[in-house]
Amino acid sequence: MKMERKPVRRSRGRPRSFDRDQALDRAMAVFWERGYEGTSLEELLEAMRINPSSLYSAFGDKERLFQMAIDHYLEGPGSYMVPILENEPTTKGAFEKLVRAAAKELTRPDQPSGCMLSLALNHCSPAAASVQAALTERRAKSLARLQARIEHGIAEGELPPKTDARELARFFMTILQGMSVQARDGASRDSLLATAQAAMRAWPV
Amino acid sequence: MKMERKPVRRSRGRPRSFDRDQALDRAMAVFWERGYEGTSLEELLEAMRINPSSLYSAFGDKERLFQMAIDHYLEGPGSYMVPILENEPTTKGAFEKLVRAAAKELTRPDQPSGCMLSLALNHCSPAAASVQAALTERRAKSLARLQARIEHGIAEGELPPKTDARELARFFMTILQGMSVQARDGASRDSLLATAQAAMRAWPV
DNA sequence: CGATTTTTGAAGTAAATATTCCAAAAATAC
DNA sequence: GTATTTTTGGAATATTTACTTCAAAAATCG
């Protein structure tokens, strides 16, 4: 049972000649590699293999395309954290697996290095302020997930009751974001794994 | 004993009407805040309060100005690490002081948040490739300084002989770079201090 | 003083940028 | 088949970008 193109019922006009999801995937790759402001429309159009009219009618404008690309990233290559945090039996085990998985994911040869969300828009011109707001929100959500798992661990007695869940979550966010910068700077997977291992030594007793 | 303007001997032509160092300082501030590619000539000219001809005759072009601004940063606001690494009696004490100082420096209200070098050019368009090379070199130098202090510590018997100095240095680089991202994302000084404290728990025994 | 040298200011330029326009194309609805 | 709707391709546009030009200004040199 394979689907031809888009299996959705046709609306009236001329059908779209490209695969929207594939185009978004390609846009994501370029934004991931070059950042929001560092990516030109020309690069996007070439990578997506569509022309301006198609891009604007399908995705709105550069800003909205970027936001869709970020969400596409978080549901795809950036989604590896969720099942680890949810399914690992122990909290410490979850974080251990998390940082090791990050070391691997952030240095995959078939992808741009580092985390698209961590690296995006650390410099913000006034023009990109609204994009940055959206990113900040998503980073906050990511932090909240780490924190929730730690709080769960405290409740289960896996961690000292006095543990500051938010600050421990922030420590791991710092590690993950730093690993992204390292990956961008050419650090090897083994280096990141060593950092992951070091980070776990900071786990509260 | 205060100097009027530039005390250097006058060369022949019309004297420069602005203070080169002050202009560079202002350029640094803008680049630090907005990044290399995020800063326009117009913003630079306004901040430096000079006109295009003056900028180009005094600093070459945008790229060379940025490199001078980076060096200006490393000799100024970014120089706080050097004396700590050189003067602290123990290696562990040096790193403890280092991460605490970073937490403070990266969240100073009178400066752009984060480290100018860590945050610069994590996305690189082909146009900025040569600038990025210069940055990579400087980051490597920074890493080497951390590594050197750790190796010194190993030699002095402060650290286990089997300690991998390069990887431990990278761990702390990761922490410092992650703290810069956190600072950019609005994390408070106290948060960074908590992260600094957590990082020290990873110190080898 | 007059010649020389360097900086200044303001306007100018060439390229890149994000976005829009519009006629032609390709589908469905009647 | 004709009308309607939507997408396409390519050209056009307005703005911003980094950078240059050049005459006038302001200094030193002889």
ipTM (interface predicted TM): 0.93
> Between chains, do B181 and A177 touch, taking CB under 8 Å as contact?
yes
Q: Which of A48-52, A119-123, A161-165 has the lowest mean pLDDT?
A: A119-123
Confidence of residue A8 (pLDDT cuts 50, 70, 90): low
> Does residue A176 contact residue B193 with C-beta atoms inside 8 Å?
no
Q: Please report, rounded to whole angstroms, the spatial distance between the CA atom of protein residue A19 and the C1' atom of nucleotide C17.
A: 26
Q: Give the N- to C-terminal CA distance of chain B in Å, as an integer.
A: 53
* The nucleotide closest to A39 (CA, C1' atoms): C17
Structure tokens at A186: 């050419």
Structure tokens at B94: 């040096």
Whether the CB of B2 is less than 7 Å away from nucleic strand D comes out as no
State the average pLDDT over residues A12-35: 97
Spell out the residues 6+ positions from residue B202 whose beta carbon is closer than 8 angstroms to its own: A198, A199, A200, A201, A202, B171
State the average pLDDT over residues A128-139: 94
Q: Please report, rounded to whole angstroms, the spatial distance between the CA atom of protein residue A47 and the C1' atom of nucleotide C28.
A: 31
Residue type, A67: Q
pLDDT of A11 strictly over 90: no
* Interface contact A171, partner B, CB < 8 A: yes
Q: How far apart are CA A121 and CA A38, in angstroms?
A: 10
Q: Which of A8-12, B155-159, B174-178 has the lowest mean pLDDT?
A: A8-12
Q: How far apart are CA B47 and CA B65, in angstroms?
A: 13
Structure tokens at A63: 């800003």
As a three-state string, the secondary structure of chain B is CCCCCCCCCCCCCCCCCCCHHHHHHHHHHHHHHHCCCCCCHHHHHHHHCCCHHHHHHHHCCHHHHHHHHHHHHHHCCCCCHHHHHHHCCCHHHHHHHHHHHHHHHCCCCCCCCCCHHHHCCCCCCHHHHHHHHHHHHHHHHHHHHHHHHHHHHHHCCCCCCCCCHHHHHHHHHHHHHHHHHHHHCCCCHHHHHHHHHHHHCCCCC
Give the residue from chain B lying closest to A198, CA to CA. Answer: B202
Q: Is A17 helix (H, G, I), strand (E, B) or coil?
A: coil
Model pLDDT for residues B25-60, shown as the tens digit of each residue: 999 999 999 999 999 999 999 999 999 999 999 999
> Does residue B81 contact residue B98 with C-beta atoms inside 8 Å?
yes
Residue A127: what pLDDT?
A: 84
Confidence of residue A5 (pLDDT cuts 50, 70, 90): very low
pLDDT of A62 strictly over 50: yes
Residue B5: what pLDDT?
A: 37
Q: How far apart are CA A67 and CA A139, in angstroms?
A: 13
Structure tokens at A177: 């974001």
Residue B4: what pLDDT?
A: 38
Confidence of residue B180 (pLDDT cuts 50, 70, 90): very high
Q: Is A148 helix (H, G, I), strand (E, B) or coil?
A: helix
pLDDT of A1 strictly over 60: no
- Mean of the per-residue pLDDT values of chain A: 94
State the average pLDDT over residues A4-20: 75
pLDDT of B109 strictly over 90: yes
Model pLDDT for residues A149-204, shown as the tens digit of each residue: 999 999 999 999 999 999 999 999 999 999 999 999 999 999 999 999 999 999 99
State the average pLDDT over residues A19-47: 98
Polymer length in residues for chain A:
205
Query: Is residue A187 left, alpha or beta, with left meaning phi > 0 and alpha meaning psi from -120 to 50?
Result: beta
Percent of chain A whose pLDDT exceeds 70:
95
pLDDT of B144 strictly over 80: yes
> Does residue A170 contact residue A105 with C-beta atoms inside 8 Å?
no
Residue A139: what pLDDT?
A: 98
pLDDT of A7 strictly over 60: no
- Mean of the per-residue pLDDT values of chain B: 94
Q: How far apart are CA A82 and CA A177, in angstroms?
A: 17
H or E element, residue A29: helix A20-34
- Residue of A117, A121, A123, A146 to mutate for B, most B C-beta atoms under 10 A: A123
pLDDT of B75 strictly over 60: yes
Chain centroid offset of residue B6 CA:
26
Contacts A168 to B, Cβ<8 Å: 198
pLDDT of A109 strictly over 60: yes
Spell out the residues 6+ positions from residue B31 whose beta carbon is closer than 8 angstroms to its own: B39, B66, B69, B70, B116, B120
